Amino acid sequence: MLFVKQFTFSPIQENTYIVYNDKGSCCIIDPGCYSLIERNQLKGYILSSGLAPKYLLNTHCHLDHVFGNKFIAETFDLIPHIHPEEEQMLMLAPLSGTRWGLPFDNYEGKLVFINKHSVIELDDDRFEILETPGHSPGSICFYCREQGFMISGDVLFEDSIGRTDLPMGDHATLLRSIQTQLFTKPDETIIHPGHGRSTTIGREKQFNPFFN
Ligand SMILES: [Zn+2]
Ligand SMILES: [Zn+2]
């Protein structure tokens, strides 16, 4: 059984997720902690809850989703898991940081590449990887089929979708990703997005203006 804890970090208001099970194993997805206070908040939650971090996962590598990668990797001795198409985005992130007035120390160590054939196992539970390019070329969603939820990054939001005006974004590709990878899942599937409130596949099929 997996449980989801959400934080919202940085001036970009990015959602960082800790997904943990009853044995205390956890994965940290998109650590967007920017300030020292936010880093201490994330680390403090993990330590005070007695959680053992097993994976550092990124839905994609825009700056707001990787602000805390170096901190989490060093603190818990983890290697970021990303889609290979996102390595180029990770390289670009510090430049975006400078442009946005949010400079940060980028992670520069080893990477583990994952794709649609990979499975992330947390003891008895598992995430399938959905490849959902469009907002970013190697955007992926971590889908827990058994419990009907996914950590989906900047693909689908409540009443909105990810922006596609950033480098290598593509609107038609994003719409296709949502139609083929997300809208094919059961309506009650919960979407935990990279920004804003959680929603469901069924709600977005019915009300999302991009699909009506
Ligand atoms: Zn993004
Ligand atoms: Zn984002």
**pLDDT, tens digit, for every residue of 103-140?**
999 999 999 999 999 999 999 999 999 999 999 999 99
**Ligand approaching nearest to the C-alpha of 93:** 1
**Ligand approaching nearest to the C-alpha of 14:** 2
**Ligand approaching nearest to the C-alpha of 138:** 1
d(CA 130, CA 115): 8
**Ligand approaching nearest to the C-alpha of 162:** 1
Q: Is 201 helix (H, G, I), strand (E, B) or coil?
A: helix
d(CA 29, CA 4): 10
Report the predicted TM-score, pTM, of the whole model to 2 decimal places: 0.98
d(CA 212, CA 55): 37
Residue 212 confidence (pLDDT) above 90: no
The residue assigned the tokens 């996102």 is 86
d(CA 40, CA 46): 10
Please tell me the distance between residue 70's alpha carbon and the centre of ligand 1 in angstroms: 18
Please tell me the distance between residue 66's alpha carbon and the centre of ligand 1 in angstroms: 10
Tokens at residue 60, please? 């994609």
Please tell me the distance between residue 187's alpha carbon and the centre of ligand 2 in angstroms: 24
Please tell me the distance between residue 153's alpha carbon and the centre of ligand 2 in angstroms: 7
Residue-wise pLDDT for 161-185, tens only, equals 999 999 899 999 999 999 999 999 9
Tokens at residue 120, please? 């992330």
Please tell me the distance between residue 149's alpha carbon and the centre of ligand 2 in angstroms: 19
